[in-house]
Amino acid sequence: MRLRRAIQAALTACATLAASAGLVAVGTGTAQAATPLPNRVFAPYFEAWTGQSPAQLAAQSGAKHLTMAFLQAATKGSCTPYWNGDSSMPVSSATFGADIATIRANGGDVIPSFGGYTADNTGTELADSCTDVNQIAAAFENVITTYDISRIDLDIEDNSLTNTGGIDRRNKAIKLVQDWAATKGRTIQFSYTLPTTTSGLADSGLAVLRNAVSNNARIDVVNMMTFDYYDNTAHDMAADTQTSAQGLYNQLARLYPSKTPAQLWGSIGITEMIGVDDFGPAETFTLANATTVYNWAVSKGINTLSFWALQRDNGGCPGTKGDDNCSGIAQNTWDFTHVFAPFTSGTTVTNDFSVSAGPNSGTVKPGSSASATIATAVTAGSAQSVNLSVSGAPAGVTATVTPGTVTAGNSATLNITTTSSVTPGSYPLTVTATAPSGTHTATYTLTVTGTTPTTGLVNGDLETGSLAPWNCQSGGAVVSTPAHSGTHALQAAATAGQTGECTQTVTLKPNTSYTLTGWVQGNYAYVGVNGGATASSWASSGSWTKLSVPFTTGASGTVTVYLHGWYGQGNVFGDDFSIA
């Protein structure tokens, strides 16, 4: 990849990792049967010079497999590869061994990669540097046995594409390693990572493969770098990936005429440069591009999906091109990894998102206001347009979300205002987020302080001698007989044309369980609540009968209490109503 010389020159020696018990599976020095990679694998590049732990980043990001970049000679003319060409980072179990063991324990693996842009420009790419084919092969074998790996990647760019001597030595060494592995009962794969045009490999890249064929060196995967086209043209990076891969397919079909279409597609790899590549904004690979490429790669049976690089999968530098530490676009950390990670299992990714409120609750006095941040995030696929709304506000409360539409990954504000007359209580407000992939909700609980009515019911024993605040259909009245207690009761006049219903609206604590009780007498006497809750009970008796009606208030806390009879059954009476 295009690693700038300034970065390479600034590298500091990594701290040597102590050998641990976890290293027994890594680097015994003898050939073993390494576990083959999956037929379909996502393996983003890990920048090995940063001093970070590949195992930790793999676990944090969800990328189980990593392509470890890069191995190269420390000086031109040397036949000994080191990580990043740093002599303090030799090929040994003490360098990355513990990390590799942890990655394998978590179900993944690594692909060591030789070369890279810096090595190809400084003569330190191994086959350019070393003129002894046997020593090149021995270096490959040492990496294989030290880390017990099943694939080596060869990143060949720029000057290495025109070094015909290095090309020939490299392919001859590949053949020697493959013959050696066969005698040891080991299968080892080699992949070439090569720059590409939008219609396939340039002739310089194709020449590398032609030389491999002439040397009987089996190349298992041809991995195209579908970025850095430098043609001064605006690009749809997903569409260009597909035309580039189709061009490579056609080239491979001519180079390997005996292979089936499935075998040809299964020998192709794709490496994207996420976000803004080295050229600039005209070559920007977006999250939407990632989903398109992912689903297309699954449908074609592509072997390897990768990107440069894991440490760039964050939005820390919007507008910056070619940075090795961030993508140059606005994104959440690991967004691209989350899109590509399911590729190893071969499932088709669909878009999805999450929504949350922060904080998720607040307390105000009547007449005051509150606010919260409504955050959305991409949880799968690419960012979608998300519509936001809020419901559940009681009387006296106004709640809105601004803006009403965001792109997943962005935030909005929940604005809440209350009037001085709002009833104190606890009110759950539901924020609903809707996108083409589906709907998600978040809850914000608003608490309004103040004194909440404990019973709400007025004149429940009718001893005021007045009907108020009860309201009755025609014939309803306060009567002195029969009375359950005291000297007054409520009469509901049921006739052939009405139930005689008497009602009283009360305001209680919202979202709270209560029980309405009352004493009734008469044929088919009903007691109940409606409006903010629905519940009732009835009795039919010539003597006083107690009825109990459990109910739960809604968000407003307001319900209507009623007493009524039934059509044509005559008057019914009620007394000593209460709510507890």
Burial 114-137 (b: 16+ CB within 10 A, else e): bbbbbbbbbbbbbbbbbeebebbb
- Rounded to an integer, what distance in angstroms lies between the CA atom of residue 148 and that of residue 380? 33
- Rounded to an integer, what distance in angstroms lies between the CA atom of residue 471 and that of residue 567? 19
Q: Is 299 helix (H, G, I), strand (E, B) or coil?
A: helix
pLDDT at site 2? 46
What's at 210, amino acid-wise?
Answer: R
pLDDT at site 3? 40
Token duo for residue 11: 């590298």
Token duo for residue 489: 């009761």
Q: Which residue has the tokens 């290495």?
A: 160
CA distances for 523 relative to 95, 191, 481, 541, angstroms:
91, 90, 16, 6
pLDDT at site 532? 86
Question: Is the omega angle on the peptide bond into residue 573 within 30 degrees of 0, that is, cis?
Answer: no
Q: Which residue has the tokens 């393996």?
A: 43
Which is nearest to 35 in space by CA: 74, 65, 14, 8?
65
Which is nearest to 45 in space by CA: 112, 127, 106?
112
- Residue 459 DSSP label: S
Q: What share of the chain is helix, strand, coil (3-state, %, to 5)?
A: 25, 35, 40
Give the burial class of 18: count Cβ atoms within 10 A of its Cβ; 0-12 exposed, 13-18 middle, 19 or more buried. exposed
Distance of CA 66 to the CA centre of its chain: 20
Token duo for residue 41: 């694998």
- Rounded to an integer, what distance in angstroms lies between the CA atom of residue 452 and that of residue 558? 12
Half-sphere exposure of 57 (CA within 13 A, CB side): 27
Token duo for residue 19: 């050998």
Q: Is 513 helix (H, G, I), strand (E, B) or coil?
A: strand
Q: How many CB atoms lie within 10 A of CB 451?
A: 7
- Rounded to an integer, what distance in angstroms lies between the CA atom of residue 405 and that of residue 403? 5
pLDDT at site 262? 93
What's at 191, amino acid-wise?
Answer: S
- Rounded to an integer, what distance in angstroms lies between the CA atom of residue 247 and that of residue 239? 12
pLDDT at site 118? 95
- Rounded to an integer, what distance in angstroms lies between the CA atom of residue 503 and that of residue 560? 6
Q: Is 23 helix (H, G, I), strand (E, B) or coil?
A: helix
CA distances for 399 relative to 8, 374, 410, 554, angstroms:
54, 13, 20, 17
Q: For residue 573, report the phi and psi dihedrals to the nearest 5 degrees.
A: -130, 145
The model carries a pTM of 0.60
Q: Is 462 helix (H, G, I), strand (E, B) or coil?
A: coil
- Rounded to an integer, what distance in angstroms lies between the CA atom of residue 336 and that of residue 232? 25
- Rounded to an integer, what distance in angstroms lies between the CA atom of residue 152 and that of residue 255? 22
pLDDT tens sequence for the chain (580 residues): 544 333 333 333 333 333 333 333 454 444 455 788 999 999 999 999 999 999 999 999 999 999 999 999 999 999 999 999 999 999 999 999 999 999 999 999 999 999 999 999 999 999 999 999 999 999 999 999 999 999 999 999 999 999 999 999 999 999 999 999 999 989 899 999 999 999 999 999 999 999 999 999 999 999 999 999 999 998 999 999 999 999 999 999 999 999 999 999 999 999 999 999 999 999 999 999 999 999 999 999 999 999 999 999 999 999 999 999 999 999 999 999 999 999 997 555 567 888 999 999 999 998 899 999 999 988 766 778 999 999 999 888 999 999 999 998 899 999 999 988 787 888 999 999 999 888 999 999 999 887 655 557 888 999 888 898 999 999 999 999 999 999 999 999 999 999 999 999 998 888 889 999 999 999 999 999 998 899 999 999 999 999 999 999 998 889 999 999 999 999 999 999 999 8
What's at 23, amino acid-wise?
Answer: L
Question: Is the omega angle on the peptide bond into residue 195 within 30 degrees of 0, that is, cis?
Answer: no
pLDDT at site 19? 30
- β-strands 268-273, 221-225 pairing: parallel
> With contact defined as beta carbons under 8 Å apart, do 366 and 450 qualify?
yes
pLDDT at site 349? 55
Token duo for residue 171: 């392919």
Q: List alpha helices for 65-159, DSSP H.
A: 97-105, 117-122, 126-129, 133-147
Q: How many CB atoms lie within 10 A of CB 183?
A: 8
Domains by residue range for the chain, with CATH: 5-348 (3.20.20.80), 353-448 (2.60.40.10), 471-579 (2.60.120.260)
Q: Is 276 helix (H, G, I), strand (E, B) or coil?
A: strand
Which is nearest to 389 in space by CA: 376, 373, 405?
405
> Torsion-angle region of residue 414: left (phi > 0), alpha (psi -120 to 50) or beta?
beta
- β-strands 304-308, 268-273 pairing: parallel
- Paired with 305 in beta bridges are 42, 270
If you count DSSP H runs as helices and E runs as strands, how many of each does the chain have, helices first? Answer: 12, 29
pLDDT at site 556? 84
- Rounded to an integer, what distance in angstroms lies between the CA atom of residue 91 and that of residue 72? 11
- Rounded to an integer, what distance in angstroms lies between the CA atom of residue 167 and that of residue 203? 14
